Amino acid sequence: MKKQLLSILALLLPMVVSAVSEPYAVPSNDVKTDKVTNMRQVFDGPIDVGTNQPGNFTQKGQTDSSDEFTAFVQQLQKKVEQCKAYLADLYYELEQKDPEHEAEEIWGNLDNCAYYLDMCYKSIDQATTVEELYDVEKMLLDLMAYLNTLASLIDEYEPVQPFTATTVEGIELRLKIISEDDKTVQVGDGKNPALSQSATGSVTIPATVGDYTVVAIGKWAFDGCKGIRSIYIPASVTSLADNFLGDCRNLTSLTVAADNPVYNSPANSNAIIKTGNKTLVAACNSTILPEGIETIGSYAFAYCDAFETLDLPDGVWSFYDYAFAYSSVKLIAAGGISQIGFSMGAFNCSKVEVFYLRQTEGTLSMFCNGKMWKYAFAPGWPTPTFSTYVIPEQVSIGDKVYVVSSLGSSAFYNCTELTELTIPASITAIEKGAFGKCTAIRTITSYITEPFTIDGEMFVPEVYAEATLYVPAGTKAKYEATDGWKNFSPNIVEMEVENTEAVTVGNALVAGFSSNKNLDFTSLEEQGVSAWIATGFRGGNVLLSRVYAVPAGEGVYVKAEKAGTYEVPVTEEEPFYSNLFVGVPDGATVNMYEDFYGETYLTLSLAMSKTTGKPGFFPNTAPKTYAAGKMYLHMPARLLPEYATTRINDFSLGIEFEDDETTGISEASPLNDNGQMINDKLGEVYDLQGRKMEGQPTKSGLYIINGHKVVIK
């Protein structure tokens, strides 16, 4: 116990004790003398236990039950209680002087004293020899000296009075003095916003305020300032606290002075990088990640709600605590590295669902809410609770579309509630341990037509024994002969051949699609999948109308409630309607063109907007090559909004989902008494879903005739 007490004492006495010249020196007269005098009387010297010395009552280490031992225990317990009362007085006195708890070091030292006084009390209770009691007594005497020093510091403490400075935009900043000698200040007190949360516009932080230099920005300095759009930081600021932006979620411009010695903001990045360690320390809603960064710092993307996906530059290899806290980021891709490190709280309070690692050009390896190499996403991520998971064949991240080609080590680690899994045909490799601890899987549907070898313990024994593996028609024998997959025998079942076309919807939950076959999306409605055609333009938006039947070669906009690959039934029916989407089922390279009458048409591609984070259609300013099965939008150049012509490179058309009775509707002749249209020369008639009708309409309603919406009354 002696060694334990001495080690505690060594931890207890920080450098402030060195200011005490003698262990029991009386503090300066500035300290409340009555309080100190009373305590000096309590500790007027070693406690008198008669003539006995340690070891005289009993042999060392043996229990002592003598009356002197009992009296010693009682006296020490009393002294501990008196010392605790003294400590309580010091707490009270400091609270009166420092209600905001600015004196963090003094508060911390008082807390240490409280802890070690409690240790003294427990040590007394556990002591079995007088020698151990003397160790406690010595510790109490040293603690008393420490408390006297703290009493002196508290008496001398003068809280720093914050003051304000007015920026060039007229916004008042609250500042805190760091050093009166050096004349340095910090923006904010590190606990509260430095400006009114109702402030709007731009903030240019001054380099100097009177005789003071602004050298730091404290934590939470801009928290809750949702009306601030721009922040400029001068070269004098060389310290930025973690999460200094707080919830400043509408920020779109964030820069530091070019000559700042510690931080930099690459051109047009709207981000702050710590130059020395290449760490992204702060981002905003218009951040474009620059090349060369290696680390995503704590709270770097906190509260940014403009991104659902992030395509990180090559070389980013580490992530700090709360890097994506309270942001809208769901999918992340990184690459150009061999190993990635995550702090244990990197994904705390985030919506991040999947982490991908870029492989060869255009492909990704998937790490889904689990572990990556030896680095765990937990405890930042909660234990996955999904029961069904469809691995996407491709995903859209930023403005790129990637093919998901492999599953990384521990990709689905500990997904204990996963019961049904779908693996797309694009997967060409699955690393060992991808499904570690996934004990509940009972159905696996694989679209891989050429099964490759996987680890023989890829799945836990109960999954091999109880799960059914569904494989493409004609591939059962291949699976039964391939290591890893053959462990599912005899529960390998070939899927029935269906006359369908597969449409893959990525994590953006939208896709452009076309096929060489007539398709019917009706049966996919219950799966939350719908198809839309382009019917016109209004303002800066393209108008979309829902259809069910889609003719061969037509381009459609597909929406889904969940990412995945969906099978769309082929139909013999040949629907017809007017559609501004152009399908490229076999792939094509297109550019703007002129028609026979000299009308110039633009071609526009479906992509995610970096500004809004929503899908839109972007004009192609150069020839664009589309992969097979895609589509594009074409429109007359004259319909482009006037403001877009001056910024064609970053303009996009939004999307407006049109009600059936919005635009482009004309009227047809009414029905006669026999239920036929008076004008029966209008040609073939289709319903709003593109299905050809047999004969003329027999009921009033909305139809498509000669490519136009027509109301039959």
Res 562: pLDDT: 84
The residues, ordered by sequence, that sit 6+ positions from 698 with a Cβ below 8 Å of its Cβ are 671, 675
Burial 637-667 (b: 16+ CB within 10 A, else e): eeebeeeeeeeeeebbbebbebeeeeeeeee
Rounded CA gap, 237 and 21, in Å? 40
Q: Where are the alpha helices (DSSP H) in 622-675?
A: none
Using pLDDT thresholds of 50, 70 and 90, give the confidence band for residue 31: very low
Is the per-residue pLDDT at 122 higher than 80?
yes
Percent of the chain, pLDDT > 70?
75
The residues, ordered by sequence, that sit 6+ positions from 148 with a Cβ below 8 Å of its Cβ are 20, 25, 26, 27, 31, 36, 39
Is the per-residue pLDDT at 674 higher than 70?
no
Rounded CA gap, 56 and 42, in Å? 26
Rounded CA gap, 149 and 670, in Å? 100
Total residue count of the chain as it appears in this document: 713
pTM over 0.85: no
- DSSP one-letter code for 220: T
Burial 20-51 (b: 16+ CB within 10 A, else e): beeeeeebeeebeeebbeebeeebeeebebee
Is the model more confident about 241 or about 25?
241
Is the per-residue pLDDT at 272 higher than 90?
yes
Cα separation of the two ends of the chain: 98
Q: Compute how many other C-beta atoms are within 10 angstroms of the C-beta atom of residue 610.
A: 16
The pLDDT tens digits for 145-191 are 888 888 888 888 877 666 777 776 788 899 988 888 899 999 998 88
Rounded CA gap, 223 and 197, in Å? 8
Is the model more confident about 279 or about 643?
279
Is the per-residue pLDDT at 603 higher than 80?
yes
The pLDDT tens digits for 428-463 are 999 888 898 899 999 999 999 999 999 989 999 999
**CA–CA distance from 70 to each of 66, 130, 215, 699 (Å)?**
7, 10, 59, 105
Is the per-residue pLDDT at 56 higher than 80?
no
The residues, ordered by sequence, that sit 6+ positions from 642 with a Cβ below 8 Å of its Cβ are none
Q: Highest mean pLDDT range out of 233-247, 314-328, 613-627?
A: 233-247
Supply the CATH classification number for the domain 385-497.
Answer: 3.80.10.10
Give the H or E element holding residue 492. strand 492-494
Per-domain residue ranges of the chain: 2-156, 385-497, 500-657, 664-713
The residues, ordered by sequence, that sit 6+ positions from 552 with a Cβ below 8 Å of its Cβ are 515, 516, 517, 518, 574, 585
Closest CA to 391 of 343, 428, 440: 428
Res 699: pLDDT: 62
Closest CA to 558 of 525, 581, 531, 526: 531
Using pLDDT thresholds of 50, 70 and 90, give the confidence band for residue 303: very high
Q: Which long-range contacts (CB under 8 A, 24 or more apart) does 37-46 make?
A: 39/82, 39/83, 39/86, 39/144, 39/147, 39/148, 42/79, 42/82, 42/83, 42/144, 43/79, 43/140, 43/141, 43/144, 46/137
**Helix, strand, coil share of the chain (percent; to 5):** 20, 30, 50
Is the per-residue pLDDT at 206 higher than 90?
yes
Residue in the structure block whose two tokens are 């703290």: 150
Token representation of residue 565: 């690959």
Res 276: pLDDT: 94
Res 506: pLDDT: 79
Amino acid letter, residue 134: Y
Is the per-residue pLDDT at 224 higher than 90?
yes
At 653, give phi and psi (nearest 5°). Answer: -85, 130
**CA–CA distance from 493 to each of 300, 393, 429, 501 (Å)?**
48, 22, 21, 21
